Amino acid sequence: MDSSFSLYMHIPFCKSFCDYCDFYSITTDKKDHDYIDKYICALLTDIKNQITRFSAECITTAYIGGGTPSVLGGKIGFLLEELYKLPGFKPVEFTIEANPESLTENFLEACRKNGINRLSLGVQTLHEPSRKIVNRKGDIKAIKENIELACEYFNGELSFDLITGLPCQSEETIICDIKSLLEYEPSHISLYSLSVEEDTALKEKLEAKMLTLPDKDCADSLWLCAKNALLKAGYNHYEVSNFAKEGRECVHNMRYWQMESWLGAGAAASGTVIGNDGTAKRFTYANDADAYIKRPDIENALCENLDRDTFLRESLLMGFRCRKGPDTEVFKRRFNRTIEQCIPNTLLKYSGRDKMLFLNSFLSDAFCELDGAKLRV
């Protein structure tokens, strides 16, 4: 088992809920300061125990997501300071997510002082009608002022999240969003196409015909329009939903896609520990912050054993999300065979084609070929 790990920490607090979001979170107005402090202490206890349990000698990348970590304000400083006291916590890349509307000087100063070198801002869109109709909070003028504040305080890597396919969007509004954000010279942009998830307010409003979304063809055109604008601006399309300047890809997320071990701490967080025999163990916490505070221990999480066949398929699924594909040497070492030996016909069929563009079809064919080979054996 590799002794180097990544670390994901989930902060499940938000000021309000966007209609399309299905990530686990709770509103801060229902929780007092003591509750948030207790959650942070539970998080640190969990991380310490996981480092010991899995003999994690080095934490190479770290990522704080949510929820909305920026709603912690200056409280984030305590968490960051305590993390650096842990053995082997030496991340070369340390990312924190934030929403521009909740950025404060205290939060940014704490990040600057305590090792955060990558800031991921969930802008989603600067088009006011699109924001309002899906309950995305924040005044556009204030958002831009806070992004400028971030640029003033923060001198690390800057990333923006954008969503296409929202109500009221057009190619013109998306291009306007991109042009506005490029003025801040971000090194990285994540570009997502809106998906309608179960048990969300967006799903309910669509079923009640309270709003409409662009049809599939229009939604695809909107995403492609944004993609082309980013390519034209010099960003490399290195993963299905991610674009970066040369050499400035998100190292932490690349470890997910290449299936390297990571620890996951916090309510709703998930971790995966890779074995030396082509198998892996995965643990996932329940969507329950109260339960997590009472018992922040992976013995209280859902644990799964990924056998060789399952882990091989997941390695293909995740690896081919990236333009460069899975790490061929790592794949061969883990499974004692090459990717070409596993899915030769699928690779031949898609030779010369953009596998990211046809990812679902490519993976479907790959898994069918694996199933066929299994039957022949």
Mean pLDDT, residues 281-289 taken together: 97
CB atoms within 10 A of CB 2: 16
Burial (0-12, 13-18, 19+ Cβ within 10 Å), 347: middle
**CATH number of residue 58's parent domain:** 3.80.30.20
Tell me: do 35 and 175 sit in the same domain. Answer: yes
Among 255, 280, 308, the domain boundary falls at 255
Tell me: do 228 and 339 sit in the same domain. Answer: no
Q: How many CA atoms lie within 13 A of 281 on its CB side?
A: 13
In a domain, 199, yes or no: yes
In a domain, 140, yes or no: yes
154 pLDDT tier (thresholds 50, 70, 90): confident
37-49: pLDDT as tens digits: 999 999 999 999 9
Residue pair 118/159 in contact (Cβ under 8 Å)? The answer is yes
Tell me: do 48 and 192 sit in the same domain. Answer: yes
In a domain, 272, yes or no: no
Tell me: do 22 and 99 sit in the same domain. Answer: yes
Is the model's pLDDT at 146 over the cut of 60? yes
Among 220, 255, 290, the domain boundary falls at 255
Rounded to whole angstroms, the maximal C-alpha distance in the chain is 63
Domain, as residue range, for 370: 323-377
In a domain, 314, yes or no: no
In a domain, 355, yes or no: yes
pTM: 0.95
287-324: pLDDT as tens digits: 999 999 999 999 999 999 999 999 999 999 999 999 99
Tell me: do 165 and 241 sit in the same domain. Answer: yes
182-214: pLDDT as tens digits: 999 999 999 999 998 998 999 999 999 998 899
Is the model's pLDDT at 376 over the cut of 60? no
214-228: pLDDT as tens digits: 999 999 999 999 999
In a domain, 280, yes or no: no
Mean pLDDT, residues 262-275 taken together: 97
377 pLDDT tier (thresholds 50, 70, 90): very low
CB atoms within 10 A of CB 22: 15
Tell me: do 12 and 149 sit in the same domain. Answer: yes
**Looking at the 3D structure of the chain, how many domains does it have?**
2
Tell me: do 48 and 170 sit in the same domain. Answer: yes
Question: In which region does residue 179 sit, left (phi positive, over 0), alpha (psi from -120 to 50) or beta (all else)?
Answer: alpha
Q: What is the pLDDT of residue 155?
A: 84
Tell me: do 248 and 359 sit in the same domain. Answer: no
Tell me: do 200 and 343 sit in the same domain. Answer: no
In a domain, 264, yes or no: no
How far is it, in rounded angstroms, from Cα 138 to Cα 117?
25
In a domain, 292, yes or no: no
Among 223, 255, 287, the domain boundary falls at 255
Residue 277 is classified by DSSP as S
